[in-house]
């Protein structure tokens, strides 16, 4: 992991909802955006608060019409997280949103470029101490006139890059726009430059990071549903974050935006950039040694056990004892399954040997007991009392290396994967 680039810092929020810091070495901030209409006040507030409850630090709303900015005033009274107004085409919406008390404005240089209009928005935000995100998008950045000529001209700067003209165009647009802000001595700015092409996202943010010291809002736009868009988004964003680039993230899915928040938080936890809340599940991918219905068991563990526990304990669910103990190294609680049985370990100590049906309830019982001990200060997460001693494969589990070597492993159903 490359140490994070220290950018300028902007602050989003107020006394009532709290202040979120973006950049300047602050923890990476998770954002999402409402899918519903802002003028539907009750639904808008409920949606924002649902995302906040799931862990979103900031939520953005669209304000395409006057009725949206009119509703925003009431929305701002009821939310419990900082809110950003997403403004396109109509600079007046930005002015109205500022008046309504929004915490941040997003402008798109691709569709609000009139210098006087931009100046009016800058002045309004400056007066209220509200930051602005300058968000260029591949989809809206191409200039309608002279597109081919300009793309060719600018593309020379990144001649070896397959999307060099887009890189150059986005950087040029940002530079032009930032000149307006610099003339107003306004630096309360975040930058984003999104594309649906993950490789281009990595390259554009890498180039922007070299050129500007404003905090960067990372995102892959129009990534698709969670199924198709997750890997596209996470591969680009985690690469950038691992390279020390990025101060806030928004993952975009064409499905429930709660998943954007969950996946962004999980990404940050996996990168060691956020402390995990709740269980970290380690599960074996299964192989030809499997002798319990592991896929079903893991799904049940996710559904039943994970919501019951608060502490970030590591729980390992392994299908056998051949590699299980090694693969579960570091787990606080682990189960190794054998021939329709499971042996449960807590902090390395064997505590139960149960049938397949009893694995889930007993695992839950042991996890809760361990959590209670940690809360009472009688145990510590990540601390082993003894090294795990693998059970006797035949005597205790009726399975394992000897049985496998003897070719006596029974075939079992592996459940539904869908
Ligand atoms: S724990 Fe056992 S069954 Fe699971 S992948 Fe490892 S070796 Fe295979």
Does the beta carbon of 290 lie inside 6 Å of ligand 1?
yes
Residue closest to 352 by CA, chosen among 336, 372, 368, 330: 336
Does the beta carbon of 287 lie inside 6 Å of ligand 1?
yes
List the residue whose alpha carbon is closest to atom 2 of ligand 1: 320
Does the beta carbon of 324 lie inside 6 Å of ligand 1?
yes
Q: What is the pLDDT of residues 247-300, one digit of tens each?
A: 999 999 998 999 999 999 999 999 999 988 889 999 988 888 787 888 999 999
Does the beta carbon of 319 lie inside 6 Å of ligand 1?
yes
Residue 418 has what pLDDT? 33
Residue 392 has what pLDDT? 64
Does the beta carbon of 283 lie inside 6 Å of ligand 1?
no
Q: What is the pLDDT of residues 176-213, one digit of tens each?
A: 899 999 999 999 999 999 999 999 999 999 999 999 99
Q: In angstroms, what is the span from residue 358 Cα to ligand 1's centroid?
A: 20
List the residue whose alpha carbon is closest to atom 5 of ligand 1: 286
**328-336 contacts at long range (C-beta below 8 A, 24 or more positions apart):** 328/282, 328/388, 329/388, 330/282, 330/382, 331/282, 332/370, 332/381, 332/382, 333/363, 333/366, 333/367, 333/370, 334/388, 335/359, 335/363, 336/390, 336/391, 336/397
Q: In angstroms, what is the span from residue 264 Cα to ligand 1's centroid?
A: 29
Residues of the chain falling short of pLDDT 70: 140-156, 390-418
Does the beta carbon of 322 lie inside 6 Å of ligand 1?
yes
List the residue whose alpha carbon is closest to atom 8 of ligand 1: 287
Cβ atoms of 21 and 6 closer than 8 Å: no
Residue 342 has what pLDDT? 87
Does the beta carbon of 397 lie inside 6 Å of ligand 1?
no
Residue 207 has what pLDDT? 92
Residue 133 has what pLDDT? 98
Residue 138 has what pLDDT? 79
Residue closest to 212 by CA, chosen among 189, 244, 241, 238: 189
Q: What is the distance between the alpha carbons of residues 195 and 211, in angstroms, rounded to a whole number?
A: 19
Does the beta carbon of 215 lie inside 6 Å of ligand 1?
no
């Amino acid at each position: 992991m490359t140490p994070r680039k220290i950018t300028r810092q902007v602050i989003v929020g107020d006394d009532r909802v709290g202040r979120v810091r973006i950049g300047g070495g602050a923890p990476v901030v998770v954002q999402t955006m409402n899918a519903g209409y802002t003028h539907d006040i009750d639904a808008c507030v409920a949606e924002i608060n649902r995302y906040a409850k799931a862990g979103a630090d900031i939520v953005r709303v669209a304000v395409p019409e006057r009725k949206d900015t009119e509703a925003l005033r009431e929305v701002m009274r009821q939310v419990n997280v900082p809110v950003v107004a997403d403004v396109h085409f109509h600079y007046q919406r930005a002015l109205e949103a500022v008046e309504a008390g929004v915490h941040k404005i997003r402008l798109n240089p691709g569709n609000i470029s009139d210098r006087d209009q931009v100046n009016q928005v800058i002045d309004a935000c400056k007066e209220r101490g509200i930051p602005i995100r300058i968000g260029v998008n591949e989809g809206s950045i191409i200039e309608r006139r002279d597109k081919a000529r300009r793309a060719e001209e600018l593309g020379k700067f990144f001649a070896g890059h397959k999307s060099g003209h887009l890189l150059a165009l986005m950087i040029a647009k940002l530079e032009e726009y930032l000149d307006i802000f610099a003339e107003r001595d306004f630096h309360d700015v975040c930058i984003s430059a999104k594309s649906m092409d993950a490789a281009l996202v990595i390259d554009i943010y890498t180039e922007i990071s070299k050129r500007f010291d404003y905090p960067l809002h990372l995102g892959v736009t129009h990534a698709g549903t969670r199924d198709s868009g997750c890997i596209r988004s996470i591969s680009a964003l985690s690469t950038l974050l691992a390279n020390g680039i990025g101060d806030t993230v928004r993952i975009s899915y064409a499905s429930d935006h709660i998943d954007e928040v969950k996946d962004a938080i999980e990404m940050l936890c996996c990168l060691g950039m956020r402390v995990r809340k709740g269980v970290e599940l380690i599960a074996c991918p299964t192989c030809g040694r499997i002798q319990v219905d592991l896929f079903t068991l893991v799904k049940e563990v996710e559904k039943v056990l994970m919501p019951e526990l608060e502490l970030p304990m590591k729980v390992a669910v392994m299908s056998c004892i051949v590699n299980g103990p090694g693969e579960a190294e570091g787990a606080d609680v682990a189960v190794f399954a054998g021939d329709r049985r499971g042996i449960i370990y807590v902090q390395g100590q064997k505590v139960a040997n149960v049938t397949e049906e009893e694995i889930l309830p007993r695992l839950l019982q042991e996890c809760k007991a361990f959590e209670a001990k940690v809360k009472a200060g009688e145990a510590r997460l990540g601390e082993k009392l003894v090294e795990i001693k693998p059970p006797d494969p035949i005597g205790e589990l009726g399975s394992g290396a000897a049985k496998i070597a003897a070719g006596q492993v029974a075939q079992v159903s592996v459940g539904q994967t869908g």
